[in-house]
Amino acid sequence: MISKEDILKRAAKLLPQQIKLRRLLHQNPETAFEEFQTTALLKSHFKKHKIKTKSLKMKTGLLGIINESKKPAVAIRSDIDALPVTEQTGLSYKSKRDGFMHACGHDVHTAVVSGAAVLLKDVKNELPGCVKFIFQPAEEMPPGGAQPMIKEGVLKKPDVINIFGLHVDPTVPVGKFTLRDGPTMASVIDFDITIFGVGGHAALPHRSVDAIAVATELVGSIQKIVSRETNPQKPVVISFGLIRGGTVRNVIADKVLLQGTARTLFPENMNLIRRLLKRTADGICKARGAKYELNILSGYPVLSNHKKVNRILADSAEELFGKNVISNTPQTMGGEDFAFYLQKVPGAMFRLGIKNDKIGANKPWHSPKFIVDEKAIYYGTALLTMAVLRYFEST
């Protein structure tokens, strides 16, 4: 089997190609289910390296595969979508599309997983099983792209028995990784509430039902769900990101749209949140003479990592890069649809350090100034390659 020295040597040699691929992706960001150019670029990359790809019914996304005839199968997943964010980095390879940006590092994920595919393809005859490379659209847009990919059968024929995922982390120095057993990222539901009032003149509020006034009261009351109606030892976050209503200052609005999101690390809280959202909207709107429509959108389950898989990742990182390269991933209320894969097969998502204060690679996810230290691609590629090899050795 390939040695750790050989993995590191090959990963270092491959890095310039991966950086080139990553920068092409960064210059041409595409949002959820619109990743047509990204998919085409990946197909070209895999064809160049003589790695088989399988056609999907989905319009975007890609499945690469090595040793399709062998069992068992291990998978590595990358998300490929960007965000509707206007880039403010000043990089020479900044986004060419105004209003769109890879502000969460999915371009780095794609480069890392593509590189691992190349390294593993070079030793495919030594692998006792199959390796699948899942390039998934629409992670940023619930209900996301993971479920459609699963329905396409990416975990079948041959059946995947283990899956690895990664996410860049701007709080972790480049060359370091973080892991966490069990619940790590929150379950998420997004919801829309449309309030219907009665419009009228601003000078005659008694002849109207002010949808804006009802909306503001409802927002405040929903926050009390968190502070007064959920167990503080099982935290919940409910946030509103959009309020839209009204036309001009002297006309009372007849309709307001609220868009919000609820998050928790405890799945049992989700049914409670759904019930209390409806009860609160019922009460406020009835008291003020308004009507409402509550639309609860599909969300993501809790992302819960498997201990055995994390152990393989930790051992692989220490073998490649020495001790003290692994620390504990903090729990977060952020959501990730990698959680859907973990409901089907054991797996884990590790955090890949991209922080480098000297170049300003320390801005938070989704920031218009988000940049990465591209040396992280080398570390992520080597780790995933070693982890796949170690997993096969352990089965």
Mean pLDDT of 112-132: 97
Mean pLDDT score across all residues of the chain = 97
Cβ proximity of 99 and 34 under 8 Å: no
Output the pLDDT for position 169: 98
pLDDT 10s digits, 288-305: 999 999 999 878 999 999
Please tell me the CATH code under which domain 4-184+302-394 is placed. 3.40.630.10
Output the pLDDT for position 395: 77
Mean pLDDT of 272-283: 97
SS3 10: helix
pLDDT 10s digits, 152-187: 999 999 999 999 999 999 999 999 999 999 999 999
pLDDT 10s digits, 32-51: 999 999 999 999 999 999 99
Q: Is 189 exposed, middle or buried (0-12, 13-18, 19+ CB in 10 A)?
A: buried
Backbone angles phi, psi at 198, to 5 degrees: -130, 120
Mean pLDDT of 250-254: 98
pLDDT 10s digits, 205-226: 999 999 999 999 999 999 999 9
The structure's pTM equals 0.93
Task: Report d(CA 374, CA 376) in Å as an integer.
Answer: 5
pLDDT 10s digits, 292-343: 999 998 789 999 999 999 999 999 999 999 999 999 999 999 999 999 999 9
Q: Delimit the domains of the chain by residue range.
A: 4-184+302-394, 187-296
Q: Which of these CATH numbers, 2.60.40.180, 2.60.40.2380, 3.30.70.360, 3.10.450.40, describes 187-296?
A: 3.30.70.360
Output the pLDDT for position 321: 98
SS3 120: helix
Output the pLDDT for position 2: 85
pLDDT 10s digits, 59-116: 999 999 999 999 999 999 999 999 999 999 999 999 999 999 999 999 999 999 999 9
Output the pLDDT for position 298: 77
